[in-house]
A = this chain, B = another copy of it.
Amino acid sequence: TQSRTLDDHYAVGISSLYNIALIRFQGAGIVGRYGVIGRVFEKLAGKKINIILVSQVFSEHSICFAINPKEVELTKMLLHKEFSFELENRFIDSIQIEENLSLIAVVGEGMRHTPGIAGKLFGLLGNEKVNLIAIAQGSSERNISFIVNEQDVKPAIRILHSSLFSGLDKLNIFIVGTGLVGTDLIKLISQNETLIICGISNSKKMVLDKTGINPTVYQDELENGQEADLDAFITVAKNTPNSVLVDVTSSSTVAEKTAELITNRVSVVTASKLANSMDQDYYDAIREKSKKSTAQFLYEANVGAGLPIIDTLQTLLSTGYTIIKIEGVMSGTLGYLFNEFDNSVPFSELVKDARKRGFTEPDPRDDLNGMDVARKILILARETGARLELTDVTVESLIPEDISPDLTIPDFLEELAKYNHLFSKKLEEARTLWKVLRYLASWDGRKAKVSLKAVGEENPFFHQYGKENFIVFTTKRYHDVPMVIKGHGAGAEVTAAAVLGDILKCKK
């Protein structure tokens, strides 16, 4: 194989030569025996045996060189004949042959006097678990050659090719989901020239282009793209180095592939809570794979959208804080509803209005059932090291039990109106105690809970406003003054920004 480019500073070509054999012999008899290396190559030259690569290293009693495997038998015979005396007398230990090897050469004008290029190359290969059997880099030659096992050639070429040609500091981004967050994310990414969008997919169509999709006209390309096929999409991501798969869907399709992607060195950045709130075994599997992989798994947007909740919690834990309690208003929608709810308008009308204004999920039951918040507190609890399932979270749903789950959205909203008195009553009861209603999630180290609570002025959540997310970390170190992070915790733009923050972290 051969690939060339002219506009790259470092490398202008990567060549590979499959099927070579490595001859190696060593022994005390080589040291100080000035003739050995000359005798070897003189003999081989006599039979027109081409030497592909030579490597002899200082202080080792060893010579190694690569030849065409067709010439192994002849070489062996020649060497045994030439060195019969040394072999018999153990001046040379033995002549060994390794086959099924391949040679890869990276050639480029700019490589000489570019400190670090070998390091970058071999660093990349090390990340790919490519075992280097022999290396040769010639002086003043813009060439680094190395021998690898046959099965390592493809991954080695892939990583080298893409890294050297697309730049070592660029990330190749594959986005799944083109809803509001996806759209905002593409806008943000388009402003950063180190991020190359190589793939965009929604549930219907996908477009793939390793050279980069123009983010300003991607919609046309996507409309005329191929039929969506997540497996095919993922396969391209796997075969692209420095790749990051971004999940901005609300479906579990990518979530279920997370462990596999990480294993295959594709970093995963997700706004979706699904991967982190599936069963504990899957959660553990992702962590297990992450440990062994250079790929990262990042999900800052899982809780509090644009607020630095996950990162802060991870830093607290890694710097020796013991978490006593995590508590918060973790739904912008429910935060808003209970801030607005003052009995001037019935609760169901408030929900209807919020839905119209785009503040709720398309089906407001997805907010009211509390499951979104339950997933968030589960994720935070697991972050602290706790092992529990979504079913272990006690959830107080705001959907009255008697309402059939089979209703259409408008019918549900009509039905909800019949229960307005229940919400009114709760509010009045709270008011008589000078309290306000807050839909709170909490984890106290043993129990995760989501419920509607009446809180008084002494409670920090009394001062939660509007769509604000409001999270409180109480730690052993400073339980008297807990840490509070709050702010706009919903909306496509903040979520997209949080996802971008995670993407930038993948650059290490």
Residues of chain A touching chain B, judged by Cβ–Cβ distance below 8 Å, are: 15, 17, 22, 24, 26, 32, 34-60, 62-64, 66, 96, 98, 103, 105, 107, 113-127, 129-141, 143-147, 188, 191, 306-308, 311-312, 315-316, 318-321, 463, 465-468, 473, 477-478, 480-488, 491, 493-494, 497-498, 500-501, 504, 508
Contacts and interface: CB of A to CB of B under 8 A. Distances in A.
A311 to B, nearest CB: 7
A159 to B, nearest CB: 11
Contacts of A191: 320
A212 B145 CA distance: 39
A45 B50 contact: no
A216 to B, nearest CB: 16
Nearest to A125: B119
5 contacts: A62-B143, A119-B126, A122-B122, A137-B146, A468-B481
Find the residue from A24, A34, A105, A114 having the highest chain B CB count within 10 A: A34
B116 A119 contact: no
A488 B483 contact: yes
Given A38-B45, A119-B126, A140-B96, A485 B488 contact: no
Contacts of A118: 122, 125-126, 132, 135
Contact of A484 (B59, B63, B105, B485): B485
B35 A38 contact: no
Contacts of A63: 54, 138
Contacts of A494: 477-478
B60 A143 contact: yes
A482 to B, nearest CB: 6
B107 A143 contact: no
Given A56-B138, A481-B468, A485-B484, A308 B311 contact: yes
Contact of A487 (B43, B319, B482): B482
Given A107-B60, A115-B129, A488-B481, A39 B42 contact: yes
Contacts of A138: 24, 55-57, 60, 62-64, 134
Given A56-B51, A141-B64, A115 B131 contact: yes
A144 B137 CA distance: 12
A134 B142 CA distance: 10
Q: Could you say how many copies of this chain the assembly holds? A: 2
B130 A139 contact: no
A46 to B, nearest CB: 8
A4 to B, nearest CB: 13
Contacts of A188: 319-320
A122 B135 CA distance: 12
Given A58-B105, A107-B59, A119 B115 contact: no
Nearest to A487: B483
Q: Which 7 A-B pairs have the closest CB atoms?
A: A116-B126, A119-B126, A483-B487, A38-B41, A38-B42, A119-B122, A135-B137
A499 to B, nearest CB: 9
A508 B507 CA distance: 10
A486 B487 contact: no
A321 B330 CA distance: 22
Given A118-B135, A188-B320, A478-B487, 14 more contacts: A37-B41, A38-B43, A54-B63, A57-B144, A60-B141, A116-B129, A119-B121, A122-B123, A123-B123, A133-B140, A134-B137, A306-B483, A463-B463, A484-B487
A311 B319 CA distance: 15
A47 B38 CA distance: 12
Contacts of A123: 116, 119-120, 122-123, 126
Contacts of A501: 315, 318-319
Contacts of A15: 58-59
Nearest to A15: B59
Contacts of A131: 113-115
Nearest to A20: B58
A101 to B, nearest CB: 9
Contact of A24 (B124, B140, B478): B140
Nearest to A499: B319
Contacts of A508: 508
A34 B501 CA distance: 57
Contacts of A116: 122-123, 125-127, 129
A166 to B, nearest CB: 19
Contacts of A96: 140
A15 to B, nearest CB: 6
A303 to B, nearest CB: 14
A324 to B, nearest CB: 13
A483 B481 contact: no
B484 A486 contact: yes
B477 A481 contact: no
